[in-house]
Amino acid sequence: MSTSESAALDTIFTVLSDSDRRDVLSHLADSPDDTATVEELAGVLRDDPNAEIRLRHVHLPRLAATAMIDYDARTGAVRYRGCSLAETLLRCCLDENPVRTC
């Protein structure tokens, strides 16, 4: 594995290590047009009264920095750009029969 491949994998694992980001990416990937608003994504994180603030200031900027999404902070528009490796890992982790951990 090359250094750049290893760095890309580290980035994806870091992004997917947070359950809120996994939920956001899963929602966007399942969306018919790969788009959502910040308010819609805050609804996905339903049990968190501070979801919109954390999305705007933590999760969406971090996802945008990885180029997995386009995020317009001014309008609150979010567009999923796709990441086949992340989607594969999400499917594996969210499968009804996940691999058991040690």
- Please write the tens of the pLDDT for every residue from 31-48: 999 999 999 999 999 878
Instruction: Find the domain containing 13 and state its range.
Output: 3-89
What is the model's pTM?
Answer: 0.81
What's residue 77's pLDDT?
97
- Please write the tens of the pLDDT for every residue from 60-96: 999 999 889 999 999 999 999 988 888 887 777 666 5
Number of C-beta neighbours around residue 84 at 10 A: 7
Q: Is the Cβ–Cβ distance between 83 and 12 less than 8 Å? A: yes
With respect to residue 81, please indicate whether it lies within any of the assigned structural domains. Answer: yes
pLDDT band at 100 (very low <50, low <70, confident <90, very high): low
Please give the tally of structural domains in the chain.
1
Q: Please provide the average confidence, as pLDDT, over all residues in the chain.
A: 86
With respect to residue 100, please indicate whether it lies within any of the assigned structural domains. Answer: no
With respect to residue 97, please indicate whether it lies within any of the assigned structural domains. Answer: no
Q: What CATH code is carried by the domain that includes residue 22?
A: 1.10.10.10
